[in-house]
Structure 1
Amino acid sequence: MKEFWIYTLLRLVLFLGSFGIVAGIWVLVADEVPVLWAVVIAFVMSGLGSYFLLNGPREALAQRVDTRAQKMSTKFEEMRAKEDADDA
């Protein structure tokens, strides 16, 4: 679960950084910041940024999920085989 929290925290930091950049630029250009548009633009920027910048943590998370799924699948198959043996 450590990989999940690391990746989630990095995504949040990337979003907040993107929002800060968008809002900062908007303040320099205009006096008023439309928050909804700033959030939407920051969301898109952080999504694109995470695709390139967070590839390592995303791969670690995917590997962890895959490993856990394989373990659970193996355990399920063992239990099913044991149940089939008991029925015979």
Structure 2
Amino acid sequence: MKEFLVYTGLRAGIFLASLLVVGGAWALVTGDDQVPALWVVLLAFLISGVASLFLLNRQREAFARRVEDRADRATARFEAAKAKEDEPG
């Protein structure tokens, strides 16, 4: 669960930082106080997605390992219960 929270928090942080940078850059370049929110959010979403692919690789792999370990343990418990059920007795 910790890995999920860390990855999600970092991903949200990258998105917020991208949102601020894109919104600020848009306002500076256009000189307009009315920044189109939809375009800023879409650009920030794309930028943060690409950035997280490179910046959060280690956290994503840790999360994937944790999920795989939990799935392996669940499968082992299921197989053990199935074998116990199949015992003659």
TM-score (norm 2): 0.95
Instruction: Kindly tell me the number of residue pairs found equivalent between the two proteins.
Output: 87
Identity of aligned residues (%): 52
Unaligned runs of 5+ in 2: none
Unaligned runs of 5+ in 1: none
Equivalences for residues 1-88 of structure 1 within 5 A? 1-30=1-30, 31=32, 32-86=34-88
Runs of 4+ in 1 over 4 A off after TM superposition: none
Q: Matched residue of 1:33: which SS?
A: coil
RMSD of the alignment, in Å? Answer: 0.9
Deviation at 1:29, TM superposition (A): 1.3
TM-score (norm 1): 0.96
Residues 1-55 of structure 1: CA distance to partner in whole angstroms, max 9, x if unpaired? 0000000000000000000000000110121210000000000000000000000
